[in-house]
Chain A
Amino acid sequence: MAVAGDQNIQTLQEYMRGLKSTGAPCSHLIAILHKTQELYGYLPREAMDEIALTMDIPRAHIWGVATFYHYFNLTRPGRHSIALCMGTACFVKGAADILEAIKNKLNIDFGETTGDGLFTLQQARCLGACGLAPVMMINDKIYGSLTPEKAVAILDDYASREKKGVLHTGNV
């Protein structure tokens, strides 16, 4: 169950109240899941339970929709999301080596979050910056012409600025 007084749950409840009376509850499910992810950054189980009970949608059905679309995160994302481009141009320019370096540095694979909750690594298909290949995007900032060393240095920089507390989080 959701924690009492949880602001996000209350916002979600209000959002659902507006939808409940209109049409079949199931037809609003994706919109509600979007709202949930907007509030939490992912789909917590407690929130999905709340949706089930409020909208009368079986949990197994919600789970099916939540796992079908890659857009939905099922685990809490890290404070900074790294989207490494594995598109054709970046790949030709050595994205695989960058990936190797990041994996070694952070000990995570695509779709995973570091134990300290700092970084989530994601795979991007093309970021539209092929001229700068290979590229990665951290939160909404693009880093181009990467080398493995450069990529690691950028991550180190984020980590040390986090330590000093001078960095704003990229995610909600």
Chain B
Amino acid sequence: MKQMITIYVNDKAYQVESGQTIMQATDGIGFRIPRLCYHPKLSIEGACRVCIVEVEGARNYIASCSYPVNDGMRIYTNTVPLRRARRDIVELILDNHPDDCHTCERDGICELQRLAYSMGIRRRHFEGEKKNYEKDLSSISVIRDPNKCILCGRCVRLCSEVQHVNALGYANRGFQTVVMSAYDRPFSESVCTNCGQCINVCPTAAFVEKNYTQELFDKLNDSSVIKIAQVAPSVRAAIGEAFGIPPGQAFEREVAAALKKLGFTYVFDTQFGADLTIMEEASEFLERIQGNGVLPMVTSCSSAWMKYVEQFYPDLLPNVSTCKSPMSMLSAMAKTYFAEKIKIDPAKICVAAIMCCTAKKYEAARPELMVNGLPATDIVVTTREIAWMIRSAGIDFLHIEGEDFDAPLGLSSGAGAIFGVTGGVMEAAIRTAYELYTGETLIDIEVNAIRGFQGIKEGKVLMDGKEIRVAVVHGLGHVYQILDMVRNEPGRFHFIEIMGCPGGCIGGGGQPYAGSNSVPLDEEVLQKRAQALYGLDRERTFRRSHENPHVQKLYKEFLGRPLSSLSHKLLHTHYTPKEPRGIITREQTA
């Protein structure tokens, strides 16, 4: 039982639980002490000193993020000398930060900028030495700019504590300290999975996605090209936030309309690709359980997870489904089935994928996903990039009249929508696999055991008396727990869904930055985005992938049946172990 103690904040008495830090205690009673390196999901760094407070009897100012409250403690959060000290601390951080806000990727959505403003820095007193490092442009997904880095360490802790990827560390010391990957090698040669969560937690532009907006504008203005867009489920669940709308509202038909206004010839839906994935994946799963295939089968939709398994668990690659991701399936269909339908040379088609994800940029460039010698997906832009493009092109997103996605690759079931949230792929697969296996329709289709945000969720489904045990994991940091189980007890599960990002795709590395009222990875925000997708599912006429009439038509006219030889050629792929081999950490190393 927690003991209640009395603390005095600015001379007023409050009852708080003992065992908390000053920051936790004051957060609970209506204060919000300024902060920078602190993040509620990460270990305490105490590096930035922005969160200092005055504590009676203490010789120095105290960092409130790391100091525990005790009974009778008298804390002052806003005295004049304290305000000056805090202001100086932030100004000293600014002093070796580039003064290029107006040309910076994060101008207007920068945490450091907001902090400097709220500290009242209106005039600069010091001129500090600037850093002068080269940007690391080697990665297809994530760009690292050490000059913008203020060494708060959130990315380093995120990468090791939340994702357990450990691609980042601090090298050197003092002013020379740089966040980099091992051996100062290019980021593209590191164990980085391209999940992009470092971008989400970075308070500045030290990490940003590789931006493809100019390439896309160029294509959109090229009249010799057929421009096809596809939109991931989670984009519609979050894009409103980039336009100042509180989280939780889906903008589905609005996104389709905005993309048409941007100049796309056809706007397709990645959710159609998701329905197609379910057809193939559910069939593959049934084939595995009926034909003594490798079990448990693990999903293969998440690009960050796919690079992770190739580097960290290459021995388990036979467990991974051979299905391409919904994005790559849809692109493959656009450049074959659809190209034939409209009698256009696929080389003249540009498929742009609008994704909540930075790792999809890497996936799109995988040579094994080429279709008839052409890249299936030509350009991938994130939710952030497309929101910027919509704004930049002068489209009034908030007052736009919604439009339908285009046939024949634009119609999707509710199962396709929930792909974006952790547990969604499994739920969608169960809805279809159940019917394919038993011949009966699953009535209670909302599988609550695998919804929600626990790191690992387990559930059971009875199919004709056969118990199918499933598990759902989100966030790469939880993966070792489930895969250790798979190694020790191979028969424990039949089917496992793994998503690289916390919350699934809705928490992807390409989603809108946290605003001034939330923090990155905020669970409340993720909950609301999830609700937006569950809402779309409930509103759909078809909630099971196999009921999607356009998917049925695609099989009838083109593919034949799931797992046909044409399906195998166009919708399935293979994965290979990759170097450098990842180091699996079961405990914290930092």
Chain A interface residues toward B at CB < 8 A: 24, 26, 45, 48-49, 52-53, 56-64, 67-68
Contact = CB atoms under 8 A, between A and B. Distances in A.
Interface of B: 160, 166-173, 180-184, 190-191, 580-581, 583-587, 589-590
B183 A48 contact: yes
Nearest to A65: B169
Given A58-B160, A59-B580, A61-B589, A68 B173 contact: yes
Contacts, number: 60
Contacts of B160: 58, 61
Given A45-B183, A62-B182, A63-B182, A57 B583 contact: yes
Contacts of A24: 587
Given A56-B584, A60-B181, A60-B182, A26 B172 contact: no
B194 to A, nearest CB: 16
Contact of A58 (B171, B172, B184, B583): B583
A19 to B, nearest CB: 16
Contacts of A59: 166, 181-183, 191, 580, 583
A26 B583 CA distance: 13
A61 B590 CA distance: 7
Contacts of B580: 49, 59
A56 B583 contact: yes
Contact of B585 (A45, A48, A53, A56): A56
A64 B169 contact: yes
A86 B478 CA distance: 52
Given A56-B584, A58-B191, A61-B160, 20 more contacts: A24-B587, A26-B589, A48-B182, A49-B580, A56-B585, A58-B160, A58-B583, A59-B191, A59-B583, A60-B167, A60-B169, A60-B182, A61-B166, A61-B169, A63-B171, A64-B169, A64-B171, A67-B173, A68-B171, A68-B172
A49 B579 CA distance: 12
A64 B183 CA distance: 9
A67 B183 CA distance: 9
A60 B180 CA distance: 8
The 8 closest A-B pairs by CB, nearest first: A58-B166, A60-B169, A59-B182, A64-B169, A67-B171, A63-B182, A60-B182, A58-B583
A44 to B, nearest CB: 11
22 contacts: A45-B183, A52-B583, A53-B583, A56-B583, A56-B584, A58-B169, A58-B585, A59-B166, A59-B583, A60-B167, A60-B181, A60-B182, A61-B166, A61-B169, A63-B169, A63-B182, A63-B183, A63-B184, A64-B169, A67-B172, A67-B173, A68-B171
A53 B581 contact: yes
Nearest to B173: A68
A110 to B, nearest CB: 15
Contacts of A63: 169, 171, 180, 182-184
Instruction: Pick from B171, B584, B586, B589 the residue with the most CB of A within 10 Å.
Output: B589
Nearest to A63: B182
Nearest to B165: A58
A128 to B, nearest CB: 26
Nearest to B172: A67
A67 B581 CA distance: 22
Contacts of B583: 52-53, 56-59
Contact of A64 (B167, B170, B584, B587): B170
A48 B180 CA distance: 16
A71 B114 CA distance: 41
A124 to B, nearest CB: 20
A55 to B, nearest CB: 9
